[in-house]
């Protein structure tokens, strides 16, 4: 609420009378981070003006979501002088890092590869304190970015977008928010987050519980007193594993309700000293160049030796080293066969199982913590701090709900088929309606009132993960099937945001006002994404990478949904850059506002 008022005041005072200052209305030169500087100039005028933001109903661009992607998107638009606003459901910016305040929430990307790369000054001035920075610091960082670059004035908080309908006659999007406001825009940019719709179990009696209970995503903003409390955690994904490791020694009794264990390896976090930070600053160019050439967008480069070309002793030596190193090296510096070859994956999984057996004292508990239904790395690998050691504590108990399922929530706790358990606090670490969930929450209708939810009901289909046939002028810098879900997220979204912004620039420079991916280009891209799953072991795993969620009707069976681009960041970037270089082939660009597309230039994109 306070932020909303604050933003309103700033917007008004920055542009008295809603008019642009002389300097604001000047032509602006466009420079795109990491790409060759563009020579052409974008004029503000055709895109309208930034005026009394909150009083205006029309914006040239509406961005939905003020998380990591939305912040960078509005930065790019603001730099170009394009009239744009960000509509954000939350009470402040930050997305994931604004919502997820559970104990233990932190990066598992190296902090300095998670930060934005677009500003040298920002890189120079920000000191990451830990190799894998925690939620409070991450949120401070995002707020710092917004304030440093004056982005908050473009953002409107506490307004959840409920619908977005494309109006063919006017070539405009009509956007409605939960508080009844209506907007129009020429371009709709969806930066909704991949994991922004939390899902709860469908258990009887959930409302009857007399203690406190919350999903980790909705963790209260004020501190939750846990000392001496009896706490239940349901779920052992990346979130549950972080929470459990963090609170095990801070609560009275901790009972973990595990349905399927997850493969997990040490985060190996540590502080970053002044000297180390100075070195990181010196190496930033090199760090980002490495991220750009690795499949995952990290500093971790795959071991290029063939799994079977080296001896078992050499494999063990590599794995021993990686297990003790920080971050995702154990997953991403490994042999590539881990992802594609059952036998190689099984050998490595058994190595990790042995490490678990070494760390967990009770052999029966250790065996329960070892996954049997999938191999290491075919689901998103959680990184942990003291997770396995938590089970060596006398106050931590593991309940295997694959054997004794939870049948309901009572006034005092949880009931399984075997016993009743009493708790003061129940933590639901039960995951998200991932990737498409946030799209499904908005009533998005394109040409001919086609509903996106209907189009995607059986098969997800996109062009480059950033556009959808039948939904003109709607852009998704981090959409399903884009490069973002499978890469270090900020590296992926910078790519996506730059591409989408470049498209707007191109349209402005060439007098286009309507862009729509062709059905053919969309099919080619979707087939390409789908075919890549065929070679990946991950296709067999029940995880959000394949669209599984036991709490969402229709997604509980684990029938594969092709949501993630598996070709790696360099290939993705090359592909989308080639599309742009070839005059946005695969996209129909139209010049007449309100008229059907004037020209079509679909050609192969892959």
Summarize as ranges the residues that interact with ligand NAP (CB under 6 A).
Answer: 106-108, 195, 201, 234-240, 242, 259-260, 380, 401, 429-432, 544, 550-551
Q: Report how far residue 527's alpha carbon sits from residue 351's, in angstroms, rounded to the nearest whole number.
A: 35
What kind and span of H or E run contains 397? strand 396-400
Residue among 226 and 369 whose Cβ is closer to ligand NAP: 369
Collapsing DSSP to helix, strand or coil, 133 comes out as coil
Residue among 430 and 445 whose Cβ is closer to ligand NAP: 430
Collapsing DSSP to helix, strand or coil, 232 comes out as strand
C-beta of 105: minimal distance to ligand NAP in Å? 6
Asked whether the beta carbons of 47 and 60 are under 8 A apart, the reply is: yes
206: CB partners within 8 A, 6+ apart? 200, 213, 409
Q: Report how far residue 427's alpha carbon sits from residue 233's, in angstroms, rounded to the nearest whole number.
A: 5
C-beta of 553: minimal distance to ligand NAP in Å? 13
Residue among 76 and 260 whose Cβ is closer to ligand NAP: 260
| DSSP code of residue 362 | S
CA distances from 559 to 212, 534, 539 (A): 34, 14, 9
Residue among 99 and 335 whose Cβ is closer to ligand NAP: 99
Closest to 4 in 3D by CA, of 139, 156, 152: 156
Residue among 177 and 486 whose Cβ is closer to ligand NAP: 486
Give the torsion through C-alpha atoms of 71, 75, 76, 80, to 10 deg: 150
341: which 2 tokens? 């070859």
Residue among 314 and 418 whose Cβ is closer to ligand NAP: 418
CA distances from 167 to 181, 187, 214, 371, 597 (A): 17, 12, 40, 50, 14
C-beta of 323: minimal distance to ligand NAP in Å? 18
Residue among 237 and 245 whose Cβ is closer to ligand NAP: 237
255: which 2 tokens? 């009972």
C-beta of 216: minimal distance to ligand NAP in Å? 6
Asked whether the beta carbons of 590 and 596 are under 8 A apart, the reply is: yes
C-beta of 484: minimal distance to ligand NAP in Å? 12
- Residue 214: how many other CB atoms lie within 10 Å: 16
C-beta of 475: minimal distance to ligand NAP in Å? 23
Collapsing DSSP to helix, strand or coil, 55 comes out as helix
C-beta of 255: minimal distance to ligand NAP in Å? 13
Residue among 105 and 589 whose Cβ is closer to ligand NAP: 105
Residue among 401 and 466 whose Cβ is closer to ligand NAP: 401
Asked whether the beta carbons of 430 and 199 are under 8 A apart, the reply is: yes
Asked whether the beta carbons of 156 and 88 are under 8 A apart, the reply is: yes
C-beta of 519: minimal distance to ligand NAP in Å? 32
Residue among 83 and 108 whose Cβ is closer to ligand NAP: 108
| Chain position whose Cβ is nearest to ligand NAP | 237
Asked whether the beta carbons of 450 and 519 are under 8 A apart, the reply is: no
Residue among 47 and 116 whose Cβ is closer to ligand NAP: 116
C-beta of 278: minimal distance to ligand NAP in Å? 26
C-beta of 401: minimal distance to ligand NAP in Å? 6
Residue among 157 and 544 whose Cβ is closer to ligand NAP: 544
C-beta of 379: minimal distance to ligand NAP in Å? 7
Backbone angles phi, psi at 148, to 5 degrees: -60, -35
Read out DSSP for 296-322? TSSS-PPB-S-GGGS-HHHHHHHHHHH
Task: Give the number of residues written for the chain.
Answer: 606
Asked whether the beta carbons of 82 and 207 are under 8 A apart, the reply is: no
Closest to 193 in 3D by CA, of 99, 119, 298: 99
C-beta of 551: minimal distance to ligand NAP in Å? 5
Residue among 538 and 589 whose Cβ is closer to ligand NAP: 538
Q: Report how far residue 465's alpha carbon sits from residue 479's, in angstroms, rounded to the nearest whole number.
A: 5
C-beta of 325: minimal distance to ligand NAP in Å? 17
CA distances from 199 to 68, 543, 550 (A): 21, 14, 9
């Amino acid at each position: 609420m306070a932020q909303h008022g604050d933003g309103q005041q700033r917007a008004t005072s920055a542009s008295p009378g809603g008019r642009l200052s002389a300097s604001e209305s000047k032509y602006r030169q466009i420079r795109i981070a990491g790409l060759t500087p563009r020579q052409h100039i974008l004029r503000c005028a055709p895109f309208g003006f930034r005026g009394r933001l909150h009083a205006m109903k029309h914006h040239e661009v509406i961005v939905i979501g003020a998380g990591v992607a939305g912040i960078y998107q509005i930065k790019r638009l603001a730099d170009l002088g394009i009239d744009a606003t960000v509509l954000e459901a939350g009470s402040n910016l930050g997305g994931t890092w604004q919502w997820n305040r559970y104990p233990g929430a932190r990066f598992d990307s190296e902090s300095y590869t998670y930060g934005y790369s677009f500003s040298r000054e920002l890189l120079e001035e920000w000191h990451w304190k830990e190799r894998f920075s925690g939620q409070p610091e991450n949120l401070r960082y995002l707020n710092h970015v917004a304030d440093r670059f004056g982005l908050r004035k473009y953002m409107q908080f506490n307004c959840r977008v409920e619908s977005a309908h494309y109006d063919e006659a006017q070539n405009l999007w009509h956007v409605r928010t939960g508080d009844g406001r209506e907007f129009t825009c020429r371009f709709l940019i969806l930066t909704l987050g991949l994991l922004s719709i939390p899902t709860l179990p469908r258990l009887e009696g959930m409302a009857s519980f007399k203690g406190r209970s919350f999903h980790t995503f909705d963790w209260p903003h004020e501190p939750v007193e846990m000392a001496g409390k009896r706490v239940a955690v349901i779920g052992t994904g990346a979130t549950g594993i972080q929470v459990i490791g963090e609170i095990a020694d801070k609560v009275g009794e901790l009972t973990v309700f595990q349905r399927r264990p997850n493969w997990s390896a040490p985060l190996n976090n540590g502080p970053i000293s002044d000297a180390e930070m100075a070195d990181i600053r010196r190496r930033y160019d090199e760090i980002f160049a490495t991220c750009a050439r690795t499949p995952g967008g990290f500093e971790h480069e795959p071991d290029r030796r063939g799994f079977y070309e080296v001896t078992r002793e050499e494999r063990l030596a590599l794995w021993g080293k990686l297990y003790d190193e920080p971050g995702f090296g154990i997953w991403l510096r490994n042999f590539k066969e881990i992802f594609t070859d059952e036998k190689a994956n099984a050998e490595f999984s058994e190595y990790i199982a042995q490490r678990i057996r070494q760390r967990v004292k009770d052999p029966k508990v250790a065996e329960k913590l070892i996954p049997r239904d999938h191999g290491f790395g075919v689901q998103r690998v959680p990184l942990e701090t003291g997770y396995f050691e938590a089970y060596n504590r006398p106050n931590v108990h593991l309940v295997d709900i694959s054997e004794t399922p939870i049948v309901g929530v009572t006034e005092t706790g949880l009931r399984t088929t075997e016993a009743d358990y009493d708790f003061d606090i129940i933590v639901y670490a039960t995951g998200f309606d991932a990737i498409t969930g946030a799209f499904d929450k908005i009533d998005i209708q394109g040409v001919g009132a086609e509903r996106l939810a209907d189009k995607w009901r059986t098969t997800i289909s996109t062009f480059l993960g950033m556009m959808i046939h039948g939904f003109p002028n709607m852009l998704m810098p981090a959409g399903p099937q884009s490069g973002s879900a499978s890469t270090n997220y900020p590296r992926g979204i910078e790519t996506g945001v730059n591409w989408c912004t470049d498209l707007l620039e191109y349209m402005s420079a060439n007098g286009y006002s309507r862009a729509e991916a062709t059905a053919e280009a969309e099919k080619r891209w979707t087939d390409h994404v789908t075919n890549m799953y065929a070679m990946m072991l991950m296709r067999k795993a029940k995880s959000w990478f394949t669209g599984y969620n036991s709490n969402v009707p229709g997604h509980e069976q684990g029938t594969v949904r092709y949501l993630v681009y598996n070709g790696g960041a360099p290939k993705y970037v090359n592909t989308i850059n080639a599309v742009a270089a070839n005059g946005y082939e695969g996209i129909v660009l139209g010049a007449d506002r309100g008229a059907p597309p004037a020209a079509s230039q679909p050609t192969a994109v892959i």
